[in-house]
Amino acid sequence: MSHGPSAPSAAPHGQSHDHEPYQPVFTPGSARKQELDDLKTRYPDKRACLLPGLWMIQQDRGWISEDAMREIGEQLGVTAAYVKGVVTFYTMYHQHPVGQHFIQVCTTSPCLCAGADKVVEAFLEHTGCKELGLTSPDGKYTVIEVECLGACGFATPVQINEDYVENVTPEKVPEILRGLQ
């Protein structure tokens, strides 16, 4: 059962970070700039630092904006279009602000057979997100469907930020969310 796009593209509820001035991540003398410069010495081609550079931006800003794509492109000597091609290819990079708790529910066939669609419905209901890819009005949650979290034996797996939760059922969702408070 599909609940909408698995890769969100719309701005979340009540949030518009597009109008805030972009604060560069790799400013001269900053720890992030040093971290990126150190990475560049490890590879024969600095383009190899693009994925970790994007992670640094996402860790610091929560998502990868167009300005951020330009910044990392300038740092690595590639165009913003090249960076955007990478960002849009990998679903792990957020192209808009997401909630404090980014919830990914596996809805691949084995998980669907185990009731993943009901787990998705429970997360949407209990978080207030209402639709996949949208952020809850309080800014705490964003829920999306993903293809295979690699835990088919523990259906339904859910990834919340960096943590995995296995054997999730609709009945367990309220308890899981209480644990995130």
Known binding residues for [2Fe-2S] cluster: 106, 111, 148, 152
Binding site residues, as ranges? 106, 111, 148, 152
**Rounded Cα gap, residues 145 and 158, in angstroms:** 9
Q: Output the DSSP codes for 78-133.
A: --HHHHHHHHHH-TTS-SS---SEEEEEE-SHHHHHTTHHHHHHHHHHHHT--STT
The separation between the first and the last C-alpha atoms of the chain, rounded to the nearest angstrom, is 29
Considering Cα of 59, then 93, then 125, then 18, what sign does the dihedral take? positive
